């Protein structure tokens, strides 16, 4: 709709068993993902 590229980042681990009956996602992984996103954009902006 916007005509722009999209970047999807996953921060889960294989052991999280996402979408299974015993799925889990550690809060540490959640917060690490939050810290990673601005660093990615900073790096991406420097190389473009």
> Token pair of 3, please?
């005509």
Residues 6+ positions from 11 with CB-CB distance below 8 Å:
29, 30, 32, 33, 36
Query: What residues of the chain score a pLDDT lower than 70?
Result: 48
**pLDDT (0 to 100) of residue 23:** 92
Domains of the chain: which residue ranges?
24-48
**pLDDT (0 to 100) of residue 14:** 87
Q: pTM here?
A: 0.64
Cβ proximity of 12 and 18 under 8 Å: yes
């Amino acid at each position: 709709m916007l005509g722009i590229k999209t970047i999807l980042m996953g921060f889960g681990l294989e052991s999280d068993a996402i979408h299974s009956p015993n799925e889990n996602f550690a809060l540490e992984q959640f917060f690490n993902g939050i810290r990673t996103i601005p660093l990615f954009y900073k790096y991406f902006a420097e190389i473009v």
